[in-house]
Amino acid sequence: MKKIVLSFLSFIFICCAFYANAQVSKAPAYPLITHNPYFSIWSFSDELNASTTRHWTGANHSLLGLIKVDGQVYRFLGKEDTLNSLPIQLAKQLSIDMSATATNYTFTSGGVELLLSFTSPLIINDLSILSRPVSYLSMKTKSIDGQTHQVQLFVGVAAAIASNKGTEEMNANSYQMDNLNVLKVGTTAQPILEKSGDDLRIDWGYAYIAANKFHTKQSILPIETAVKDFIAIDNGMQKSDAKSSNKGIKGNHLSLNTTFNTDHLGAIAQDHYILIGYDEIKAITYFKENLKPWWKLDPTMNMDKMLSLANNQYKDVISKCIQLNKLIYNDALAAGGENYAKLCITAYRQSIAAHNLVKSTQNGDLLFLSKENYSNGSINTVDVTYPSAPLFLAYNPALMKGMLNGIFYFSEKSGLYQRPYAAHDLGTYPIANGQTYPEGMPVEESGNMTILAGAIVKATGNADFAKKHWATLTQWVHFLEKEGLDPANQLCTDDFAGHLARNANLAIKAIVGIRAYGMMAEMLGKKDTANKYIQMANAMAIQWQNLADAGDHYALTYNDKNTWSQKYNMVWDKLFGFNLFPPQVYDKEVAYYLTKQNKFGLPLDSRKTYTKSDWITWTATLAKNSSDFEKIINPVYQFTTNTPTRVPLSDWHETMDGKQIGFQARSVVGGYFIKVLNVKWNSAHVNIPVKGNGYFTGKKKSS
């Protein structure tokens, strides 16, 4: 049986390497564990052992990996300055490759090769797996010099991954269940859902580290003590030693440590993996109710059962991840070429993991709520949902509904929101009790919600979602009818650039929103309403062309023809096939953009040289041919591979030198999938089945 398991694991690594080599080898930072805004660990350096691993905010969330080969210890994962005096060498990193769900590394040390794979199974079309708060760290070792070696592996996980500041008192213990050794840690205080804000980590719930109990030994110790023990232990740890006796240990700087023994290692590979999970207990406060995470919808499910399930289904889950990796890459490659595909791969896990998946206890709605990371920390921000949408529309419209459901509830049922236009947000993550952003974005958010409702209708092929919210959509469209063509002085999603009146790009959003409403009315059999708003949108589009025309381009604002801006909102006219704007409008804008590009991208508009990379992908999708598309996309790829700012992917950067201006780890990079969505909506394709509704079945800010 052991040979069969090892053969499968070897197959997994071969497959992961094959798909990874066709995908991404350079990124601003590398996702290691990515599930939601709190359970998120990254490497901020190209070499995995060159820096301490971190939460996306930059706080230390240290993972440490060591390999001992014939008595000599090498570090392959993370960095701890307190260990500098110990006799530890650096493993040599040969490669890094990233796919949609995994980040893979190859190392050598003392005649031994180590293949390392971090897999967060964010399988977008399977909610039961997507919602599981468990990542896999897989390790495969083999001799590459023809010699036999004695090899041990060590993985230490700082208790700080379950804390906010890293200094709180932690309570840790160990136990065994099924075939697993398990370590568990959380703060002593457990202040569940008591804090909200941007630069925060979770300080409630429990982190879990689990591994096969027959081949591992675990400990709860300060990292310095644990590493000294690892250096000193005899080679050839016996299986009988693999029982931890750590019970109820408290402290401020604990590490959860797992040691693996591979006995005498030769040319036949040895494989191990570790499960790293997190139980939030309660995930989101939603209109005064504390909601449990989606994976707990089955009342019999707990973290022990989850770890056992993730362990027993390891083979199946990894196989599904490999298939998804291939699908995501190939879809993007076919849509926009290799560099575009690499952008999508870089964005995939980041976009999904900036959300949390829960279910409303008030009306049963699925809620897929974003955190506005590294911005202002808002929850379910509409103008973050809008740019994030293409990924979810392309692969799972149920999640897209979950991004809108809360805003509709706020407007229709809560009794807390009475304005004639759509709300900006639902609060500050993880507290969703109502808008906390001090100013609305009237045309922006009303247009966003109407367009995205229309997009859900198109993606699902029926108007049920629109029918459910028709009165609210009608109210918002009446507002757009009055205020949308020539917007008054107000904020739009690019609010870091300040207020703007007569914003031509914002007006496009209103026009397309009105046309989307007409489409939905038509699908609902409301012929008179459909005719009225379709004709209205067409007439407004003609007026727009006259108001914005600046000769060889269209202006940023109607009143200043010496300005210009990316008309990224126009992409929805193309995706829906509305034909509000004739091809010459697209062509004129794209030709003008090609004269304004800098080394690292097309500026957002004529006011500054900074840009938003999500909007560039939308603007590029306006191009009529692949050559022009790639000319606009390639500088964005240059940014992601050459930026000097080493943080999870920023969507707001300087086009002259590639430096981050602000924002990182945000969901809006899901917008990179706009070209994929365009291809899916404009060619025959089979919809991907969506599996599992849970375990019952089986600023300044911008966007």
pLDDT of residue 248: 85
The mean pLDDT of 367-374, rounded to a whole number, is: 98
The identity of residue 471, as a single letter, is A
Query: Strand order in 54-55's β-sheet?
Result: 30-34, 40-43, 54-55
Backbone angles phi, psi at 668, to 5 degrees: -60, -20
Separation of alpha carbons 42 and 33, rounded Å:
7
Beta strands in 299-451 (DSSP E): 355-359, 366-370, 431-432
CATH topology for the 337-697 domain:
Glycosyltransferase (1.50.10)
For residue range 11-37, what is the model confidence (pLDDT) as tens digits?
A: 444 444 434 445 899 999 999 999 999
Backbone angles phi, psi at 374, to 5 degrees: 50, 40
Highest-scoring range by mean pLDDT, 3-17, 256-270, 685-699: 256-270
The mean pLDDT of 501-530, rounded to a whole number, is: 98
Closest by CA to 35, choosing from 117, 135, 124, 165, is 135
Q: At what angle do helices 338-353 and 382-395 cross, to 10 degrees?
A: 120
- Cβ proximity of 338 and 633 under 8 Å: no
Backbone angles phi, psi at 245, to 5 degrees: -120, 20
Is the peptide bond prior to 420 cis by the omega test (within 30 degrees of 0)? no
Domain ranges for the chain, please list them.
2-320, 337-697
User: Is the model's pLDDT at 491 over the cut of 90?
Assistant: yes
- Cβ proximity of 667 and 354 under 8 Å: yes
* 692: confidence class by pLDDT, cuts 50, 70, 90: very low
Separation of alpha carbons 258 and 211, rounded Å:
8
For residue range 561-593, what is the model confidence (pLDDT) as tens digits?
A: 999 999 999 999 999 999 999 999 999 999 999
Q: At what angle do helices 338-353 and 626-642 cross, to 10 degrees?
A: 60
Separation of alpha carbons 484 and 661, rounded Å:
30
User: Does the model's pTM come out above 0.85?
Assistant: yes
The mean pLDDT of 685-694, rounded to a whole number, is: 39
Separation of alpha carbons 403 and 380, rounded Å:
7
Containing H/E element for 258?
strand 255-265
- Mapped onto helix, strand or coil, the DSSP state of residue 55 is strand
Separation of alpha carbons 132 and 309, rounded Å:
10
Q: What CATH number has the domain spanning 2-320?
A: 2.70.98
pLDDT of residue 693: 35
Containing H/E element for 106?
strand 102-109
pLDDT of residue 364: 96
Containing H/E element for 139?
strand 134-143
pLDDT of residue 21: 42
Separation of alpha carbons 628 and 356, rounded Å:
37
pLDDT of residue 247: 72
Separation of alpha carbons 428 and 616, rounded Å:
28
Separation of alpha carbons 172 and 188, rounded Å:
9
Neighbours of 644 (CB within 10 A): 9
Query: Strand order in 431-432's β-sheet?
Result: 289-291, 284-286, 431-432
Instruction: Give exposure, 334-368, as e/b (b: 16+ Cβ within 10 Å).
Output: ebbbebbbbbbbbbbbbbbbbbbbbbbeeeebbbb
The mean pLDDT of 66-94, rounded to a whole number, is: 97
Q: Can you give the length of the chain in residues?
A: 703
For residue range 267-325, what is the model confidence (pLDDT) as tens digits?
A: 888 899 999 999 999 999 999 999 999 999 999 999 999 999 999 999 999 999 999 99
Neighbours of 185 (CB within 10 A): 26
pLDDT of residue 551: 98
Closest by CA to 139, choosing from 106, 181, 173, 165, is 106
pLDDT of residue 246: 62
pLDDT of residue 11: 45
DSSP state of 424: S
